[in-house]
Every structure is written in C-alpha cells, then in structure tokens.
Structure 1
C-alpha cells in the first residue's frame, strides 16, 4: 500500500526565505497582493488581448495604496525602504510586467529624476500629484538609433536667450501617450542635460506604438520634438551629465530584479496547479519524474533569485549598492524567470499558449524585459568590465 502524498511546499517556504522580512514589509506586500488580486488579475487578460490599459484610473488606484514613488521621502511619497518597494514590484509583476512597468517608470524614472535632480519648485509642482496618481510621468531617453549607447543620442537642446529649443525624438517610451510630464534628455553644447516638460507644451507630438506582441498591457509611445521651446526653469538643474539618466535607470532596474521573481512565482504556481489535476497515464502528470525535475529546477531558480533580490535590497537600504551589482541582479533574475516561464509552459502543453493561463503572457513579456533598461548582453559586459577591468563595449 503506497503512502499518501505529503502536502506540497512552496519554494519560498521550503528555504524559509521570507522569514527575514519584518512585519511592516510583510504588511505592505500583502496590501499590494490583495489589490492585485481584486483589481488587476480579473482584468489583465482582457487588457493584454485588447492592447489597452486604463492607465489613468490605475494610476489613481495605485496612488491610493501608496506605491507610486513609495521609496522616495516627503512630497507626499510613502518613504518606505527599498525592500518594501521591491516586494510591491514583485506582486505587480506577478500579474503582468506591464503593470510593474507603469509603477516603475512613474516612480523610479520620472519621479526619481525630479526628486534627485530637480529644483525645489519642480519637486513641489509634480511629486505630490504624481504620488497620488493625479499626474503621470514618462522618461524620454531611448532613441530609435541610440538604445544601448545613450551617449550618442541625437536629440539636441540649443540655448536661445533664456529658453531652450529642443529638436529630436524618443522611442519606446512607457506611459508616453498618457503622460502629463515628460523627463527629456538631450545633448547640449555643454553636454547631456535633462528637462521636465509638461506634455501640453507646443512642439511635442506623441505617437502611440501599436502592433506589439509583448507588453501589450503597457502604453508605449514615440515622442517627437519640433522646435519645442521651453524655459530654463524646465531644466533639471542638478542633471549635468549622462550620469544622471543612468542613475535613474539603476533605480528602475532594481525594481525589475524583484518584479521578475513575481512573474516566475506565478508561472510556477499556475503550472503546479495544472499538473496536479491534469491526468495522463493513469494519474496526475505531477507524479512523473520529468515533470518533478522541472519543478525542482524552477523552485531552485525562484529561491536563488529571491535571495539575490533580498541581498541587493539590503545593500540599497544601506546605501552601498553599486551599478554592477544591479546589473548582475537583472542579468540573473530576468534570465531565470524566462527559463522558468518556458519550462512551466511546457508542462501545460497546448493549454499553455491560451490566455486562460498567464504563463505564455509572462513569457512574452519577459522577452522584452530581457532587452529593456539595459539589454542582457550589455549587463553581461558591465559584469565583464567589473571582473576584468576592461570595457569591451567602448
């Protein structure tokens, strides 16, 4: 007589990785998880299939639970620690990468740029509204011909008296079509500078990017500037080189490190639930050795990714984190999540390609996450430079 099956153990419980969280951190994670279960999960498949996102309504709802710019202090921001912000990203991306992107671009790119490099007047004007979700921001750095090498950007801001005249364009800009304010990076005669520009400014045209096969529940746009005249008061006074936008990108990449663990966790949970009910050869497919081998591999990858994310959160809260450490986190965790999504999809067979299950959507999204905010190859070369002292990409 065979023994009854033991109760399954979640991979994060198996190694007790969540035992290090404080009660406050757990409470924040629970708030975001409950919000996601009630407001996001029931709608995400439709938003994705339709290629639409009610971004303004979602921004206000997300502002209502305090996750927009939550790791910033004052100006209406929650002022949480880095760990709590990471856990919020995890729960949002467990639903969809596009939802985490909305929050990440708002808080870690647009708001952080104003918070770190803006004038006091710019902070007072924009940050409280953005924290509430009453205003949405976007971040204009990438160009069609300058992605991995932003130092080569062609967008140019020319000084004209007390104003600046900006010409150029930006591509693949999340939140662009719904943004109230755009952080725009441009070459000048003195080097790269940043500008905080209301999107109603004359001379800016915003074109939605359609026909995406990934991140469909995310608004992506092209920004075009034709002799756009802005006053010097729009310039971010503390942004005086390319280092400024790169620091903003480091903030956003940190959220990806946690977020992708959420996508991986959801793929694991969905495939495990399927495998325990799907029967082949006189029993659930979860009893077969090859299927269990896939779960063991997925569980190990989730656990190691989570531990890496926790360690980086500790470094960030201690203000000791370095760019190459963030690169390793994104390099490892995105790749691990994508491998988990592919393995989980294989367990579902044909059912895995339908929108009834979240796995293929995660897999498609992660293909984009692999190459945005620093491609997989660029992060590999950042690590190579740190390990050898030689910059292979310069």
Structure 2
C-alpha cells in the first residue's frame, strides 16, 4: 500500500532542502548567487541571505583599492542596509573605513550614525559610566580609534583570566575591536596592544573554529596563537602549555568523527582530557557567529594540482584546488582554509595585523 507524505511533511522537507542549498552556496563562497537565490526563496531563507549580504559587504569594505573609493564604500553600506538589525555591522564598516573627518561624517550620515566629533563625546561618556562595549564602539568611530584598544583588550583579558568565562561574553567586544583601521593598528605606539589583540583573536578564533566545525584549521589556530605567545612580548592570561592541553583534549575527544570504519579503533581519551574538553565545551555554550556550520568547500577543491605546486603555510602539505596568497605575496594556504580562517579570525596567519579578504 502506497503511503503518501502529508502536506506538512512535504513542506518540512522543502524547507530543509532550501536551508541546505543556501548553506552549500555560502560555504562554497558563492555569495552573489546565495543572495539571488535567497531573495527568490523569501522569508524561509532570510537569515542565510542576510549573512551572505554581510559577507559581500565585508568583501567590498576590505578590497585594498576600494578606499577612498566612494563606490565600494557606499556599496558595502547599501548591502548592510538591506539587512535587519544592521547597526553593529554599519559600525564595523565605518570603524574600518579610513579618511578625513568630512569623508567619515558623510559615511556616518549614510549609515545613520553620529558624527565623528559626537562619537568622541559619546565614547568618553560611556567610558566614565563603565560601559565597555559602548566606549569601544564610539572610540572606534572617532578620530582616535586607538583609544579603544586598551579598553577592549583589558576587558577581554580580565574575563579570560577568570575560571568561568564564556565565549559569548568576550567575543562581541573582541570582534568589534578587530575592525580598528589598519593604519591605526600599525602605529608604533600600538605595538603591544596589536600583539595582544592578535593573540586573543587567534585563541578565540580557535574556539570559534571548534564551534563551526572547521576541523582543518583548529590545530593551525592553536599553533598560531602559541607561536605569537612565544615570540611577542605580551601580558595575556594564556599559557602555551594550556593551549597544548586544550588542543590534545579536543583531538582525543573528537577523533572518532573523522575516523573511517576500516581504521582500527582509536585510543579513548584520558580522564584529564575529558575534564579539559568538558570545560572547553562549557565555554562554547553559545554560538556568537551566525551562518551555516561545517567546513567551507569551494568549486574546484577536488581538482588535481597543476605544475605550479604550492604548499600550505598552515599544514606544510600540498594544496589541492584553489590557492590563496597571503600579504607577503609568497605564503599560500588553500582558499577553503582562508575562508574559514577569516570567518573566525580576521587577521592574517602571518601575524602582521593585516586582515584577510578571501571572499
């Protein structure tokens, strides 16, 4: 006897297929197509469409030639204005955009934000009131964005130094702080703050990669953070030994995920590794980032390498599929890894303080 599915079951399947299709487009970095498809699908695909719009705006705002080009700057703003609850994204755009006071005020007006001068007053008021997030936000929008660095970094370090901190507490401030204009971050007077920001973003990026199931870059992010701790003079509540313990615990407790049925059974994690991993999961109780979960996988990832072979500076292995060159023009990583890295840690794996733009 043929049993036909009910209309509700059919609608649920269609909804899941649409959601899956949008996720694959975004994870494949087909952002323009994702926005087009999402616009046609309408409300069911709205969250994914808005996330794709944010990534497209990020692509525009970080094209090296885009500033002071008003066209790219305004395009990024227009894309963000198409999304709901867009104030924070518009703040990030205006914080990252260089220019004179007049140019910045024009952009602020388009994004419905206070003038540069007013932002300085709002920042000072928020700082006096002890409102860290608001003071960081408005200092970044002022003509002295470097004043946001010690405020935001001290906030993150204070929380990470406690035993019961969670990712959702520190990530919003750290994410906002990472949009400081590059030329300000590169100031000699900001060297210590820059090093601490890179280390904190690297560590939090590793945790976000675990949440997002970006398994291929989790070890690289832990190694990146450890190397910066070893080579830079900083004062952050992180120890290389603790990072190694966390990475080992994550590997031991998740090793069965990537194990094929033909392989011999893996060694069970020790009791101490289970304890470390349980603490890690407690910190990841909420997902601060939106968007689909799972590794990015662009078109051509399975194509064989051609004669121009490149080695990944993250893994040391030969890159298969599209290659992404880092800012030194020599170091390379796979485009898949570059996309995932940029979504959890905006700064280059080379530790220079330059932001990635693989979108």
TM-score relative to the length of structure 2: 0.27
Structure showing the higher strand proportion among its residues: 1
Of structures 1 and 2, the one scoring higher in RCO (CA 8 A, sep 6+) is 1
TM-score, normalisation: structure 1: 0.26
Q: Give 1 or 2: higher helix fraction.
A: 2
